[in-house]
A = this chain, B = another copy of it.
């Protein structure tokens, strides 16, 4: 199985993070993960069931490469979680404020 690469916390880039969140579907994925506080299977993300599989995979990849989510293969599933602590360490308050704005929409 191929390795899923994740940037280190100290390498997270602000424009990269904002770009990754600058899409309605990716914002929804992050919004659902933020409400959970635990890992869930990719297949349990609502957005996945509304778009072609390749589109879903692309959005997860963009979020993972920006450092917003962690994806861990477990058997035939991939568990996904929001990297809240890493994001908070690199850019304090950023994710929280964006999620508050997301709730206001």
Contacts and interface: CB of A to CB of B under 8 A. Distances in A.
Interface string A78-101: 000000000000111110011011
A75 interface: no
A16 interface: yes
- A interface: dominant SS: helix
Nearest to A25: B15
Nearest to A17: B22
A15 B19 contact: no
Residues of A in contact with B, size category: 20 to 34
A14 B105 contact: yes
Contacts of A16: 22
A18 B22 contact: yes
A24 interface: yes
Interface in A1-38: 13-24, 26-27
